[in-house]
Amino acid sequence: MLFDSWEFVSWEDEAADHILIVVGCETACVDQGPFVNKDVHWLNNTTDLRVLTDSLEQIAIECVTR
């Protein structure tokens, strides 16, 4: 389950490995400059939500098996 393996913190938290950007439009005009060297995940609509949660769960599994 996603909530067992992820902690959501401010994007300014230096310990954050991944950035989740939630936007309300397809153009997603967000300055990505502050997120250099971080894995960025985009959420633009409800269809993306399932893809995003599957991706985050897979990353969590890979981290546990290392």
- Give residue-wise pLDDT tens across range 2-38: 556 677 888 888 888 888 888 877 666 788 888 888 8
**2 touches 55 (CB < 8 A):** no
Has residue 27 been placed in a domain? yes
What residue type is 21 in one-letter code?
Answer: I
In a domain, 63, yes or no: no
Q: What's the total number of domains in the chain?
A: 1
Domain membership of residue 50 (yes or no) is no
State residue 1's pLDDT score.
47
pTM for this structure? 0.62
H or E element at residue 57:
helix 46-65
> Residue 55 falls within a domain, yes or no?
no
Task: Identify whether 10 is part of a domain.
Answer: yes
| Structural domain contains residue 64 | no
Asked, for residue 8, whether it belongs to a domain, the answer is yes
- Domain interval for residue 21: 1-37
